[in-house]
Amino acid sequence: MTTAIEVREISKQFKLYTEKRTSLKERVIRGGKMPYTPFWALQDINVDINQGETFGILGRNGCGKSTLLKCIAGILKPTSGEIRVRGSLAAMLELGAGFQPDLSGRDNIFLNGSLLGLSRTEIAKRYDEIVAFAELEDFIDNQVKFYSSGMYVRLGFAVAVNVEPDVLLVDEVLAVGDASFQRKCLDHVKKFQREGRTILVVSHSTDVMRQNCSRVMVMNHGKVITIDEPGEGIRVFLADLLGVGTLEGSESGGIEGNVLAIGSVSAEHGGSGQRMHLYPGESLTITADLDSLAAVPNAMATIAIHDDGNELVFASDPDDPMCAIEVPEGGGMVRFHFPEVPLLDGTYSVSVGVRSATDTAIFDWKDQVTKFEVANPGRSTGRVRLPLDVSFRLRSASHTGEVPAVGSDPSPLALPGWEQSTA
């Protein structure tokens, strides 16, 4: 398999100046040197990203994600190490990056396009598509310093994707803007994926990672914690975010020091033993085995359900008292019971977790560990089965249409002449 991006032993140091010396005397005395503290934003980063792969980077703020992308884009020069990128590259790294505020949107399109390696003729051919994608037809000749943040990001993303690069770097842009624009961005990412382009994306959204990436790299303090499939990468990221165990330095990227772990997880429904699928409206029970080295008196069980497109369907409230459990030494079983599942056709995956109720630390999280299938015997369509009452009545001259008296049933189904059917 061809490698699109090679990162070898990359480290990046910044200088943090702790004092300000502005007088000429101070500068002469110190020989023009200012005291500083070295800060390593990146330390010995190694990763290969395959051609046609959508690769995600997760990590808390300040972990080095954006610094790494800027090094790959050539905006920053690493202190040590080597980066190789095969093919043309476009980067959307931050809001309005590369825009000249005193120039119009039109001028900035030609300026940014030229920086990405396109000739003026090539940019002119794509100009209308860029403006239409950004939805800025009425504002394209205004100076961009008067643009809103949403207009900034729409224009920047439109330029980056319409130059059709071999490698696209995206830093948090998919989480900016309104829902309609986010959907448009994700649709364009899907188009790039179908065309076999390489995409490197940074996002705090675990759903973006789960839905789009084939692998995820988790970072902390400028180092790589793990590189794994999205489910395991998200589990490690959440654990790191909430301060569980000693992640840094762990070769496997696993969670160290936990007293509780989730074992096997199973799903049973109203038709179990007779058929593989359940029908809309039937019950569903998810059971998870817990192994515990010590008693955990204040724990919270959590559950999430995603559809076959990795869209979140349901996630339990992590603070719901109903989810509180007491786990003795040795462990036990936790049971999630849904008396009625209102979903229609589809295959759904289940993730379960257990966290501390006192310090929000995650003991363990199993991402999409089991599945269940729903088959709708009727012809209704959509995602959910909603209770529905349908009624009909004949027009009657005797019906006055008076509003029912206070205390009576205000429902039109209670009026004389209505015949009710239930679906």
Amino acid residing at 57? I
Same domain? For 230 and 275 the reply is no
**Domain count along the chain:** 3
Please indicate, yes or no, if residue 334 is contained in any of the structural domains. yes
Q: Could you tell me the residue range of the domain that residue 209 belongs to?
A: 3-241
Q: What are phi and psi of 253, to 5 degrees?
A: 75, 10
Distance CA 361, CA 14 (A): 32
Please indicate, yes or no, if residue 321 is contained in any of the structural domains. yes
Residues 6+ apart with CB under 8 A from 58: 65, 203, 204, 206, 209, 216, 217, 218, 219, 233, 234, 237
pLDDT in tens, the chain (423 residues): 799 999 999 999 998 876 665 566 666 666 656 777 889 999 999 999 999 999 999 988 888 998 999 999 998 999 999 999 999 898 877 655 668 889 999 999 998 888 777 889 999 999 999 999 888 999 999 998 898 877 888 888 888 888 888 999 988 766 555 667 777 777 888 889 999 999 999 887 777 788 889 999 999 999 999 999 988 888 788 777 655 543 343 333 333 346 788 888 999 998 888 888 999 999 999 999 998 888 988 899 999 999 888 888 999 987 889 999 999 988 899 999 999 999 999 999 999 999 888 766 788 888 888 999 999 988 888 889 888 899 999 987 555 555 554 454 444 444 455 555 544
CB 45 within 8 A of CB 11: yes
Same domain? For 280 and 225 the reply is no
Among the three residues 193, 214, 241, which one is the final residue of a domain in this structure? 241
CB 360 within 8 A of CB 242: yes
Euclidean distance between the first and final Cα of the chain, in Å? 54
Strand bridging mode 296-306 / 312-315:
antiparallel
CATH code where residue 131 lies: 3.40.50.300
Same domain? For 357 and 406 the reply is no
Distance CA 336, CA 261 (A): 17
Same domain? For 136 and 9 the reply is yes
Which pLDDT belongs to residue 399? 53
Burial of 138 (C-beta count, 10 Å sphere; 0-12/13-18/19+):
exposed
Among the three residues 241, 274, 299, which one is the final residue of a domain in this structure? 241
Which pLDDT belongs to residue 131? 93
Please indicate, yes or no, if residue 255 is contained in any of the structural domains. no
CB 228 within 8 A of CB 215: yes
- Three-class secondary structure of residue 17 per DSSP: strand
Which pLDDT belongs to residue 401? 52
Which pLDDT belongs to residue 59? 86
Distance CA 120, CA 172 (A): 29
Same domain? For 318 and 278 the reply is yes
Same domain? For 189 and 313 the reply is no
Which pLDDT belongs to residue 420? 52
Q: What are phi and psi of 310, to 5 degrees?
A: 65, 20
CATH code where residue 294 lies: 2.70.50.60
Same domain? For 346 and 393 the reply is no
Task: Look up tokens 């961005």; give the residue.
Answer: 185
CB atoms within 10 A of CB 85: 20
Residues 6+ apart with CB under 8 A from 309: 211
Residues 6+ apart with CB under 8 A from 392: 418, 419, 421
Please indicate, yes or no, if residue 342 is contained in any of the structural domains. yes
Please indicate, yes or no, if residue 380 is contained in any of the structural domains. no
Same domain? For 180 and 295 the reply is no
Sign for the pseudo-dihedral over CA of 129, 134, 137, 141: negative
Please indicate, yes or no, if residue 254 is contained in any of the structural domains. no
Distance CA 317, CA 336 (A): 13
Closest listed residue to residue 384, CA positions, set 290, 281, 285, 274: 281
Which pLDDT belongs to residue 415? 45
Same domain? For 314 and 225 the reply is no
Same domain? For 181 and 105 the reply is yes
Same domain? For 195 and 287 the reply is no
Please indicate, yes or no, if residue 382 is contained in any of the structural domains. no
Please indicate, yes or no, if residue 381 is contained in any of the structural domains. no
What is the DSSP code string of 276-294? Answer: SSB-TT--EEEEEEEEESS
Which pLDDT belongs to residue 337? 96
Same domain? For 199 and 325 the reply is no
CB 234 within 8 A of CB 369: no
